[in-house]
Amino acid sequence: MGVDFPHRHLLEIGPLSPEDLWTVLKTARNLKEVLRRPIPKVPTLRGKVVAHLFFEPSTRTRLSFERAAKVLSAEVLNFSARGSSLEKGENLLDTIKNVAAMGPDLLVIRHPASGAPHFVARKIGIPVINAGDGFHEHPTQALLDLLTVWERKGDFQGLKVAIIGDIRHSRVAHSDILAFRKLGAEVWVSGPGTMLPPEREALGARVVRRVEEAVEGADVVMALRVQKERHGRSLFPSWHEYSRFFGLNRRVLSRAAEGALLMHPGPINWGVELAPELEDFPGQVILEQVENGVAVRMALLLLLLKAAEA
């Protein structure tokens, strides 16, 4: 396979050109076929070692990266902050240096501090993938969201994407806004005033207060989880009030375009961000997002490790 991915790390969406995004999407689409084989395993990365360093909880992203590495026959080192030497006072840099001394070829890192993967990438000599850092970015989630929409809609030009909820604290929203706009989609966002970023339109999205206005005619509607653990104080009066004004239900989605997709990066607070009646909404693609997460992470492991060899 030829390598056409001129990046050493994947830390954020900003440095990626539209051509880079398409390279990841097309590679992921090709590799997705492997996942559907009777024996979903290929020797592509045999002999490579991928270290997964998760400093905060994760289900989908962590398992998705692990699955991706194993399907490509890479060895996996798994690290969790809980139960590690961090609890004995070891700092991040010492932890990273010790893991790096075990010989991994690539690090996947999730950390509650924005910029932690950038810091790690500057300190070690192997590729780093950002699996989510603080409020900053979650680039692999944006790429799997792109793949899901591309498979269903065929293109991004002219699409209206509505992102609803806790925009300010969502690294997914920040990466998605950048990624969808790079490929030609228009992005609208809506949420409580306390959950909208102070720079607002500086992100490149159109900001509206009423959810109904954001959803009107949208081809893709994405609900975000309320990031309550990142707030420090309550940013809305009650869950009931949040659900009433910013939760999605069939009435609100009736304003979207025909055939609109309903997405959520998970985990979902049913009855808050999404009404339970949406579990069988025709355009709901939440589990397709999860499946595509494995394919996108396979593509990134392959592209970055091949680029490192070049």
Which structure tokens are listed for 303?
A: 């592209």
When the pLDDT of each residue in the chain is averaged and rounded to a whole number, the result is 93
Please enumerate in sequence order all residues whose Cβ is within 8 A of that of 223, keeping only pairs 6 or more positions apart, or say none: 164, 165, 247, 248, 262, 263, 264, 268, 273, 274
pLDDT(256) > 70: yes
Give pLDDT tens digits for 77-130: 998 887 788 877 889 999 999 999 999 999 999 999 999 999 999 999 999 999
* 61 counts as catalytic: yes
197 versus 299: the higher-pLDDT residue is 299
Question: Which pTM was predicted?
Answer: 0.94
What kind of architecture, by CATH, is found in domain 140-285? Answer: 3-Layer(aba) Sandwich (3.40)
Q: CATH 3.40.50.1370 region(s) of the chain? A: 9-138+290-309, 140-285
Catalytic residue among 138, 169, 174, 182: 138
- The CA-atom distances, in angstroms, between 277 and each of 272, 284, 288 are 12, 11, 19
pLDDT(65) > 70: yes
Catalytic residue among 32, 52, 110, 111: 110
Report the binding-site residues. Answer: 60-61, 88, 110, 138, 141, 171, 225, 266-267
* 138 counts as catalytic: yes
For residues 169 and 227, the answer to whether their CB atoms sit within 8 Å is yes
Give pLDDT tens digits for 279-294: 999 999 999 999 999 9
Q: Which has the closest alpha carbon to 40: 68, 14, 71, 17?
A: 71
* 88 counts as catalytic: yes
What kind of architecture, by CATH, is found in domain 9-138+290-309? Answer: 3-Layer(aba) Sandwich (3.40)
Report the binding-site residues for L-aspartate. Answer: 88, 171, 225
* 110 counts as catalytic: yes
Is residue 70 packed enough to be buried (19+ CB in 10 Å), middle (13-18) or exposed (0-12)? Answer: middle
Report the binding-site residues for carbamoyl phosphate. Answer: 60-61, 110, 138, 141, 266-267
Catalytic residue among 36, 88, 122, 233: 88
